[in-house]
């Protein structure tokens, strides 16, 4: 008993020193699901941020302080995201948060970040139609992924598709993306009868009917392509079914927006060679920086088989930018860092100069890759330079009017007119 | 005279060699950046008609054609350990091996791939293997190149295999329809094609009738267009029939998956009355056992990989069964009279098992390979594909069902099990050790869930969440079929599967699921005990 009391006192003492030490560290919150459905994708991102933090500390930390990660598990539970975000900001007093994957989770934490004036770096490609003062979007907006992908499919290299199947998981990201794509296809002169739109529940595993329907839809004489916004686990059975039903990429190419190296890790990709994915980064990018990053990842995670993917690169860019902005501002104060973020430039792993814009979206390159039999992507097309992320799509009439710009005189994420009248 | 002829021939050959680039030069032309240039190079290679081109094109298609960086020579390379063995492309003679860094892969995209397949089609029409000739005819049908017409006619003349003849006739008709000068030839070609109930043929015919922007059609003659439209109508009628067959197969296949997922629950929930929320995790454990077994096979005896599933089935049976017995002895037996607590406790177990697997194997999907006898499909007419993995799963689910039925009906253990569930005290006083029987019954249900996991690992993700996606469906099937009745589970699973698949094309996958759920709720209102209600004393307790 006496011993226990002593232990307790020691523990108390340790805790109080920890609180003291907190003044000398910079805290980085990591808000990802480590259990539940999304753990498959999000755990890797947590590890990526931890690796970046470890690396930064090795180089002497930031502003003379150590950087300390605060990891919370959001368990793939959307309301829990908001609770954990509040915990990070209010209780742990973190200086910045890297996190979220699905759009629902982002929408869930958004009010918390706006209320407590936190800073969130969101690393995943998403449907756009949003620009919050408290979020920096380091993944692709639709015009940096979906639109170039469809243009590629319609080009000669992509097979000159004239008929499109839009397949998606039934939630906000696919629905919004497909709304934008439909408007875009209309603008390109493709009528509704040449577009088939289908949604499936999360984790859908029986794709027989849908793949058969796609084959049937493709048998009407026009070159047909499939645009897939299928998310998460459902992709594996989908691709297996494509392989089994012998849908060849030369006949009906499938381009995916949510399938990367990580998702392919669980499948034999030999029957899928030639199907496509559009991202801003592929692991197969041939640069020294990328080779170094992959090596660093393999050493950190202790497994040479692990792959890297686009959202990891987005976190890499976001983290570098945040570090640069903090150094420039000389403080981790959210308002100061935000101002310093604008125009911040980082060399991406693919060797492009990536820039943060005042609409809180990045200017990034776009790449299209074909699946290879080793689970990697061969890049068959990429933009010459970077493309500026567009928060509000030009193809949705009500969105086309809106502007996102968080600098004077706009200072607004969704306005038709600047908040402050021009001062001239 | 003969000498003169030979001289003339060789002169002719020389002349040709001088005027057109040599095969070596044509191969070297593949070393270009632009995909279009590569397509031209592939087509030029195909025109040579030289059989030595075939391995080169195949290597290019399979990503095995490389450029040696030191001298820009094109080589075929195969990975062996850490180095690549190089082969001379024309003679296939081995040349010295090099490291990967010294090689550059020749990239291709879908358009190049298409050109290669078409080229290979033309070159392989005389291949000794009928399977290759069949694929060649298919490729010719897709490319419809006029310059292949004479070759194709010659190949068809000498062809003896029925199936290949058929495909070649189809390819011939399609090529004639798209290029013959006389409308009569085109009309008769269109009529020939009407006999081929295939989506590809439908697609080709349809493409002829699409109005262009200037108001013209790809097929200029109105009479031919009428013939084409006639053929389309016939093909579509046949296709509709086959689509029905395809739908039926998919329904049965979904039914078999439901059956597998729920048959174990039919015992733990149906017979024992335990609301077992951890049932899905038993399925998951079975799937992970498959993964481990396959991993052992991969490292120890990769050549026997095809048999890994045969080992995985008993292994999964044991693993899941042991876990089942542990759970029953450790937790559930204390809760038999408290269904609500059982529900919560098993829910907790399911979360613990999920996180356990996640901590050991990581959250990412594990790759479970399909043995070769489970990959691919049988093609019925009309583009209906019966995929082998689905066929085997249907067979497997029925085998499991019959085995279970035999155990319950014919074995001593089955008799004791039924006795215990029907009247525990009476059974006990007859000398049956009810506790042991409970443990084994629960173990059996779990073990069956485990072998269901082996089958499901072939079509779904092997991830910690695998079980969760099946638990609701499994309860649905058991409740719908009638608690405590195996036949009810079979009929319930099949009818739910087939209804779902017939609704899906009209209502969409999401709505189809909702409609089924609503239908079941209504049905349960009418018949609370499901399709096959158990009669007798067991119902009252």
Are A212 and B459 a contacting pair at CB < 8 A? Answer: no
Are A212 and B110 a contacting pair at CB < 8 A? Answer: no
Quote the pLDDT of residue B529.
83
The H or E element that residue B265 is part of is helix B222-265
- Record the tokens describing residue B59, joined without a space: 């290597």
CB B524 within 8 A of CB B479: yes
Q: Are strands B65-68 and A412-415 parallel, antiparallel or unpaired?
A: unpaired
Q: In what order do the strands lie in the sheet with A367-371?
A: A195-200, A163-169, A224-229, A254-256, A276-279, A367-371, A377-382
Compute the average pLDDT of residues A75-94.
Answer: 94
Which chain B residues are closer than 8 Å to A262 by Cβ?
364
Report the helix count and the strand count for chain B, using DSSP H and E: 21, 7
Residue of B nearest to A198 (CA): B508
CB B199 within 8 A of CB A215: yes
pLDDT score of A117 more than 90: yes
Quote the pLDDT of residue B18.
44
- Record the tokens describing residue A410, joined without a space: 């706009």
Shortest distance, CA B232 to any CA of chain A (angstroms): 10
Question: CA A364 → CA A357, A387, A390, B29, distances in Å?
Answer: 11, 5, 11, 35
Compute the average pLDDT of residues B459-486.
Answer: 87
pLDDT score of B537 more than 50: no
pLDDT score of B8 more than 50: no
Among B364, B368, B380, B497, the residue to mutate for chain A (most A Cβ within 10 A)? B364
Are B202 and A157 a contacting pair at CB < 8 A? Answer: no
Per-residue pLDDT of A143-162, as tens digits, reads: 999 999 999 999 988 889 99
Residue of B nearest to A252 (CA): B110
Compute the average pLDDT of residues A285-290.
Answer: 92
Per-residue pLDDT of B159-184, as tens digits, reads: 888 888 998 999 999 999 988 888 88
* pTM given for the model: 0.82
Which residues contact residue A208 at a Cβ distance below 8 angstroms, ignoring those fewer than 6 apart?
A: A241, A245, B250, B253, B254, B387, B390, B501
Question: CA B348 → CA A11, A220, B341, B438, B488, distances in Å?
Answer: 31, 52, 10, 21, 29
Which chain B residues are closer than 8 Å to A203 by Cβ?
465, 469
Compute the average pLDDT of residues B150-158.
Answer: 87
Among A129-138, A183-192, A228-237, A344-353, the least confident range: A228-237
Are A218 and B203 a contacting pair at CB < 8 A? Answer: yes
Residue that has been written with the tokens 């050109």 in this structure: B115
- Record the tokens describing residue A35, joined without a space: 């259990």
Average pLDDT, chain B: 86
> Of B109, B369, B509, which has the smallest distance from its Cβ to A157's Cβ?
B109
Among B46-50, B203-207, B441-445, the least confident range: B46-50
Q: In what order do the strands lie in the sheet with A135-137?
A: A66-73, A25-32, A96-99, A120-122, A135-137
DSSP string, A302-336: T-TT----HHHHHHHHHHHHHHHHHHHHTS--HHH
pLDDT score of A16 more than 60: no
Quote the pLDDT of residue A277.
94
Quote the pLDDT of residue B27.
86
Average pLDDT, chain A: 89
Distance CA B472, CA B489 (A): 14
pLDDT score of A40 more than 90: no
Quote the pLDDT of residue B108.
87
Compute the average pLDDT of residues B282-309.
Answer: 92
Percentage of the residues of chain A whose pLDDT score is greater than 90: 66
> Of B109, B375, B383, which has the smallest distance from its Cβ to A380's Cβ?
B109
Among A169-173, B108-112, B248-252, B532-536, the least confident range: B532-536
Quote the pLDDT of residue A23.
62
Quote the pLDDT of residue A70.
96
Shortest distance, CA A390 to any CA of chain B (angstroms): 29
pLDDT score of A17 more than 50: no
Give the residue among A349, A348, A347 at the shortest CA–CA distance from A294: A349
DSSP string, B434-488: HHHHHHHHHHHHHHHHHHHHHHHTTTS-BSTTTTHHHHHHHHHHHHHH-TT-HHH
- Sign of the four-CA dihedral A143, A144, A146, A152: positive
Which chain B residues are closer than 8 Å to A373 by Cβ?
62-63
pLDDT band for position A244 (cuts 50, 70, 90): confident
Quote the pLDDT of residue A148.
93
CB A74 within 8 A of CB A33: yes
Which chain A residues are closer than 8 Å to B383 by Cβ?
215-216, 219
Quote the pLDDT of residue A3.
60
pLDDT band for position A7 (cuts 50, 70, 90): low
pLDDT band for position A2 (cuts 50, 70, 90): low
- The CB density around residue A302, as the number of other CB atoms within 10 Å, is 7
Quote the pLDDT of residue A340.
96
CB A132 within 8 A of CB A114: yes
**Dihedral-angle region of residue A360 (phi above 0 means left; psi in -120 to 50 means alpha; beta otherwise):** left
CB B384 within 8 A of CB B249: yes
Which chain B residues are closer than 8 Å to A245 by Cβ?
377, 385, 387
Give the residue among A115, A116, A109 at the shortest CA–CA distance from A95: A116
pLDDT band for position B377 (cuts 50, 70, 90): confident
Distance CA B539, CA B485 (A): 12
Q: In what order do the strands lie in the sheet with B103-105?
A: B94-98, B83-87, B73-80, B65-68, B103-105
Shortest distance, CA B525 to any CA of chain A (angstroms): 26
Quote the pLDDT of residue A4.
58
pLDDT score of A249 more than 70: yes
Q: Is B352 helix (H, G, I), strand (E, B) or coil?
A: helix
Angle between helices A103-116 and A172-187 (to 10 degrees): 110
Quote the pLDDT of residue A271.
80
Q: Which residues pair with A199 in a beta bridge?
A: A168
Question: CA A358 → CA A388, A403, B529, distances in Å?
Answer: 11, 11, 63
Compute the average pLDDT of residues A8-17.
Answer: 51
N-term to C-term CA, chain A? 76
- Record the tokens describing residue B255, joined without a space: 């039914």
pLDDT score of A19 more than 60: no
Among A278-292, B11-25, B455-469, the least confident range: B11-25
Q: Over the Cα atoms of chain B, what is R_g?
A: 31
Distance of CA B113 to the CA centre of its chain: 22
Distance CA A136, CA A398 (A): 23
Give the residue among B324, B486, B492, B523 at the shortest CA–CA distance from B406: B486
Percentage of the residues of chain B whose pLDDT score is greater than 90: 34
Among A60-74, A117-131, B74-88, B274-288, the least confident range: B74-88
Q: Which of A10-19, A320-329, B85-94, B468-477 has the highest mean pLDDT?
A: A320-329
N-term to C-term CA, chain B? 107
Which residues contact residue A321 at a Cβ distance below 8 angstroms, ignoring those fewer than 6 apart?
A: A136, A138, A341, A344, A346, A356
CB A247 within 8 A of CB A207: no
């Amino acid at each position: 008993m006496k011993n226990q009391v002593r232990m307790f006192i020691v523990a108390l003492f340790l805790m109080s020193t920890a609180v003291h030490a907190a003044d000398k560290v910079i805290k980085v919150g990591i808000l990802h699901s480590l259990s539940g459905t999304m753990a498959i994708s999000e755990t890797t991102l947590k590890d990526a941020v931890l690796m970046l933090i470890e690396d930064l500390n090795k180089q002497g930390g930031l502003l003379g302080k150590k950087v300390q990660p605060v990891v919370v598990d959001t368990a793939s539970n959307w309301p829990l995201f908001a609770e954990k975000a509040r915990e990070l900001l209010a209780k742990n007093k973190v200086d910045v948060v890297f996190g979220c994957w699905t759009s629902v989770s982002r929408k869930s934490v958004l009010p918390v970040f706006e209320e407590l004036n936190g800073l969130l770096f969101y690393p995943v490609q998403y449907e756009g139609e949003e620009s919050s003062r408290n979020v920096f979007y380091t993944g692709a907006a639709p015009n940096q992924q979906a639109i170039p992908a469809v243009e590629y499919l319609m080009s000669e290299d992509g097979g000159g598709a004239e008929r499109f199947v839009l397949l998606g998981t039934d939630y906000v990201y696919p629905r919004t993306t497909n709304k934008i794509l439909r408007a875009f296809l209309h603008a390109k002169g493709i009528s509704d009868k040449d577009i088939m739109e289908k949604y499936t529940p999360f984790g859908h595993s029986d794709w027989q009917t849908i793949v058969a329907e796609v084959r049937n839809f493709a048998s009407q004489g026009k070159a047909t392509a499939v645009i897939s916004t299928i998310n998460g686990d459902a992709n594996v059975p989908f691709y297996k079914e494509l392989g089994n039903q012998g849908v060849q990429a030369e006949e009906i190419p499938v381009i995916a927006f949510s399938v990367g190296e990580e998702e392919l890790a669980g499948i034999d990709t030999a029957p899928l060679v030639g199907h496509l994915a559009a991202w801003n980064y592929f692991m197969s990018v041939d640069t020294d920086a990328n080779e170094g990053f992959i090596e660093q990842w393999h050493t950190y995670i202790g497994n040479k088989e692990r792959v890297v993917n686009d959202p990891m690169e987005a976190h890499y860019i976001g983290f570098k930018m945040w570090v640069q902005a903090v150094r420039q501002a000389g403080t981790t104060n959210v308002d100061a860092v935000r101002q310093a973020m604008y125009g911040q430039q980082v060399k991406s792993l693919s060797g492009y100069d990536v820039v943060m814009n005042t609409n809180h979206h990045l200017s990034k390159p776009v790449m299209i890759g074909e699946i290879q039999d080793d689970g990697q992507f061969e890049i068959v097309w990429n933009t010459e330079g970077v493309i500026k992320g567009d928060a509000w799509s030009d193809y949705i009439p009500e969105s086309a009017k809106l502007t996102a710009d968080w600098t004077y005189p706009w200072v607004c994420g969704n306005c038709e007119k600047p908040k402050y009248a021009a001062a001239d | 005279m003969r000498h003169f002829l030979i001289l003339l021939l060789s002169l002719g050959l020389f002349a040709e060699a001088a005027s057109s680039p040599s095969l070596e030069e044509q191969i070297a032309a593949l070393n270009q950046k632009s995909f279009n240039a590569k397509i031209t190079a592939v087509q030029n290679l195909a025109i040579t008609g030289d059989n030595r081109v075939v391995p080169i094109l195949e290597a290019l298609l399979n990503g095995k054609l490389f450029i040696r960086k030191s001298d820009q020579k094109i080589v075929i390379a195969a990975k062996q350990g850490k180095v690549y063995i190089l082969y001379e492309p024309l003679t296939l003679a081995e040349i010295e091996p090099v490291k990967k860094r010294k090689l550059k892969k020749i990239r291709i995209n879908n358009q190049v791939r298409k050109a290669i397949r078409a080229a290979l089609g033309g070159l392989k029409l005389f291949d000794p293997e009928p399977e290759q000739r069949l694929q060649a005819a298919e490729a010719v049908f897709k490319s419809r190149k006029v310059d292949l017409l004479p070759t194709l006619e010659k190949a068809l003349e000498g062809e003896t295999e029925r199936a290949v003849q058929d495909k070649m006739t189809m390819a011939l008709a399609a090529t004639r329809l798209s290029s013959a000068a006389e409308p009569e030839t085109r009309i008769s070609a269109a009529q020939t094609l009407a006999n081929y109930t295939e989506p590809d043929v439908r697609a080709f015919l349809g493409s002829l009738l699409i109005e262009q922007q200037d108001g013209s059609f790809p097929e200029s003659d109105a009479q031919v267009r009428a013939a084409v439209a006639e053929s389309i109508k016939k093909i579509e009628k046949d296709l509709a029939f086959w689509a029905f067959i395809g739908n039926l197969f998919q329904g049965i296949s979904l039914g078999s998956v439901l059956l597998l997922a729920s048959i174990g629950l039919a015992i733990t929930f149906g017979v024992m009355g335990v609301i077992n929320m951890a049932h899905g995790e038993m399925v998951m454990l079975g799937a992970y056992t498959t993964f481990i077994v396959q991993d052992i096979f991969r490292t120890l005896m990769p050549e026997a990989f095809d048999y890994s599933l045969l080992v995985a089935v008993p292994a999964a049976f044991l693993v899941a069964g042991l876990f089942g017995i542990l759970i029953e002895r450790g937790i559930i037996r204390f809760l038999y009279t408290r269904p609500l607590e059982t529900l919560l406790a098993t829910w907790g177990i399911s979360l613990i098992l999920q996180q356990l697997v996640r901590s050991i194997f990581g959250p990412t999907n594990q790759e479970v390979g399909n043995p070769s006898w489970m990959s691919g499909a049988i093609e019925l007419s009309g583009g209906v594909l019966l995929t082998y993995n689905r066929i085997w799963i249907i067979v497997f689910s029925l085998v499991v069902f019959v085995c279970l039925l035999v155990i319950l009906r014919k074995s001593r253990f089955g008799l004791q099990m039924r006795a215990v569930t029907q009247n525990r005290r009476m059974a006990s006083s007859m000398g049956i050790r009810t506790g042991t029987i409970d443990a084994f019954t629960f173990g059996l249900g779990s073990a069956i869930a485990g072998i269901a996991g082996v089958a499901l690992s072939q079509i779904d993700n092997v991830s910690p969440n695998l079980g969760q996606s099946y638990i609701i469906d499994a309860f649905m099937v058991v409740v719908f079929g009638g608690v405590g009745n195996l036949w009810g589970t079979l009929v319930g699973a099949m009818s739910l599967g087939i209804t779902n698949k017939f609704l899906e094309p009209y209502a969409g996958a999401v709505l189809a699921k909702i409609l089924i759920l609503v239908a079941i709720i209504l049905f349960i209102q009418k018949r609370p005990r499901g399709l096959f209600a158990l009669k007798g004393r067991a119902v009252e307790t």
